[in-house]
Structure 1
Amino acid sequence: MSETPTLTNLLDDAALLSLEHQLHLEEVLGSHTWQVDMREGRFEFTGDRPLVCTRFHLLGTAAPGPRSWLWGWANPSGFPEPLVALSASLREFGERYGIAALASAEVPFDALPGSPTEPAEVAYLLADAAKAVSGRWTFYSGQVGGGTRAAFLIEHPDFELPPPDPARVLRLLGQGLASLPLSDHRRALYGYAVRRGLGAMFSPDHARLTITGPAFEVVAEFDPQGRVASINGTATGRSG
C-alpha cells in the first residue's frame, strides 16, 4: 500500500478510522453547541459535556453559492498562522504528489469524487483526506452563515479512542462497509487495522484479510471484484 498516494487512496485510508473517531466524538459530547474565536484561538463546546479543545486547526470552508471549497491557508480573512498551518502542510503534500484538491486554493465541488452537492459532504470528504495526511483524526464542522460550513480538526485527550474490543471493531466495520463510499475495500480495511494498531495480514492471493487485536480476530473474505463478501470476528482467549 506504499504507491504514490491519490485523493481516492487517502479517502479509503482514512474512512473507517475517521468514522470511529466521529462516532466517539458524538459519544463524548452528547447534546451540545459550539463556538470558536479564531483570533483568540479558543474552540469550545457547551451542553452535556462542556469542553475546551486543547488545540484546533481550521481546514477550510465549503460555500453553497460558488459551490466550492476554500482552504484555510488561502482565506482572504487572514487567520492566525497557527490555525491554518496544517492546511498549508496539506497544500505542500498535494503539490508533491500532484493532488489538485489539496494543492489548489479553491476546489469546485464538482472536481471532488462523487461530485458532492452539500457543503457538509464536502467538508467531511476533505477532512478525511486531511486526517490521512496529518494523523489528526477528530473533525468538526459547523454553519458560519449563508449555508457555508467551516471545517476543523480538533484536539483534546477525551477525543482519543478507547482500546479496541471485538464488539466495537466488528460493529464499526459493519457500519462502515454498509454506509461509506469506499473505492477499495481491501485498502480501507488494511488501512484501518494498521492505523488502529492492530495486526493485519492478507492471504497469499489477497482473498482474505486477518485482523488481530487484544483477545480477538476478525477475518474478512473478498469476492472476485475485491468487495467484502463476509466478515466475522472471534475471541482468541489471549490478550496483548
Structure 2
Amino acid sequence: MIPLPGVQAVADHGALHALLGQRRLEEHLQAALGEFTLGGDPSAGRLWFASTTDPERRVDTRPHLVASLAPGPRSLLWGWAHPQGTGTAAQRLRQLGEQHGIGELTVPEVPFDTTATGPELGTEVMDAAHVVAAAAVEATGLTPYYVAPIGGGSVMVYLLEGVPLRPFDLGLDGAGIGSALMEASSTDLRASLLGLARHTGLGVRQDATTVEIADARGSRVTGTCDEQGRLTGLSMHLVPPA
C-alpha cells in the first residue's frame, strides 16, 4: 500500500459516502445504458458513458480533475497543478490541507514511497487512487467519482458532476453498509459512518462504545466500538420508502 497518511486521514471520513455513491452510479448506468463504454472530450470538459448497443444513449458528466497518479515518476500530481486541471475539487482539497496543516494536500506533487514493481505497483496505484477519490468526496461532498486509466499504469481521478443519481436513502442503501465498510478506502470505520451521516443529513447519536445514524422514517444503523474506537459490530433496522 502506498502510504499517503495525510490524504488517508481525510479519506477516512468520506470513504463510505464515496463508495455508496459508486454503487448508485453503477445502478444508474445499468438501468440507463446496460453495457457501456467511456468516452470524453477533454477540450470541452466533458466525459460520458455510452451504451455499447446504442451509442446515442449516453450519460453526460462534467469531470473535475482531482489528481493524476503515475507509476513512472512514482508520484501524485494534484489537479490544481496539472495542465488539464479544471473545476474546484482539487482546490477544495488544497484549502482543507492549508486549514488543517496537511502537507500532502498543499504541495503540487507528492512522491510515492513504495518498493513495489510491475503488477503490484499497478495495484497500489489504483488503491491509492480510490483513497484520493474518497478524500475529494469528503472535501466537496460531491459523488460519484471515476478513476480513468490513461496508459502505462497511470490514472486520473475525477469527480463527476451532473450525473442524475437518486439521493441516498438509508432504508434502501443501509443493507449495503456492512459490505461497503469492508470495501471502503478507510482505516477508521467509525469516522466513515459518521461522515456518511454528515454528508447525507442523517441524525447521529454516539458515545464511547456506540454510534447510531438514523433517518426521519425510523431507519437506523448502529455500530459498536471497542476501547480504541474501532468498529466491532453493526446492527440495523431499515424502513424502505412507502
Structure-2-length-normalised TM-score: 0.80
User: Which sections of structure 2, spanning at least 5 residues, go unmatched?
Assistant: 1-5, 115-120
Q: CA deviation at 1:14?
A: 0.2
Q: Deviations over 1:48-68 (max 9, x none)?
A: 662111x22111211111111
Structure-2 residue corresponding to 1:52: 60
Structure-1 residue corresponding to 2:117: none
Structure-2 residue corresponding to 1:40: 44
Structure 1 72/110 Cα, relative in aligned 2: closer, same or farther at 3 Å?
A: same
Query: Which stretch of structure 1 is more off in the superposition, 90-99 or 192-201?
Result: 90-99
Amino acid at match of 1:219: T
Matched-pair contact (CA < 8 Å) for 2:130–2:185: no
Matched-pair contact (CA < 8 Å) for 2:170–2:238: no
Amino acid at match of 1:226: G
Structure-1 residue corresponding to 2:160: 154
Matched-pair contact (CA < 8 Å) for 2:129–2:147: yes
Q: 2:112 aligns with which of 109, 119, 143?
A: 109
Structure-2 residue corresponding to 1:216: 219
Secondary structure of the equivalent of 1:136? Answer: coil
What is the distance in 1 between the residues matched to 2:24 and 2:111? Answer: 30
Structure-2 residue corresponding to 1:3: none
Alignment of 1:231 with 2:234, yes or no, is yes
Q: CA deviation at 1:19?
A: 0.8
Matched-pair contact (CA < 8 Å) for 1:16–1:192: yes
What is the distance in 2 between the residues matched to 1:233 and 1:131? Answer: 25
Structure-1 residue corresponding to 2:21: 21
Structure-2 residue corresponding to 1:87: 90
What is the distance in 1 between the residues matched to 2:184 and 2:146? Answer: 18
Q: CA deviation at 1:159?
A: 2.6
C-alpha root-mean-square deviation of aligned residues, in Å?
2.6
Structure-2 residue corresponding to 1:179: 183
Secondary structure of the equivalent of 1:211? Answer: strand
Amino acid at match of 1:13: H
Secondary structure of the equivalent of 2:113? Answer: helix
Alignment of 1:169 with 2:174, yes or no, is yes
Q: CA deviation at 1:235?
A: 4.8
Which stretches of structure 1, 4 residues or longer, exceed 6 Å deviation after superposition?
none
User: Which sections of structure 1, spanning at least 5 residues, go unmatched?
Assistant: 1-5
Structure 1 202/116 Cα, relative in aligned 2: closer, same or farther at 3 Å?
A: farther
What is the distance in 1 between the residues matched to 2:20 and 2:239? Answer: 23
Structure-1-length-normalised TM-score: 0.81
Identity of aligned residues (%): 32
Bigger relative CO (Cα 8 Å, ≥ 6 apart): 2
Q: CA deviation at 1:160?
A: 4.3
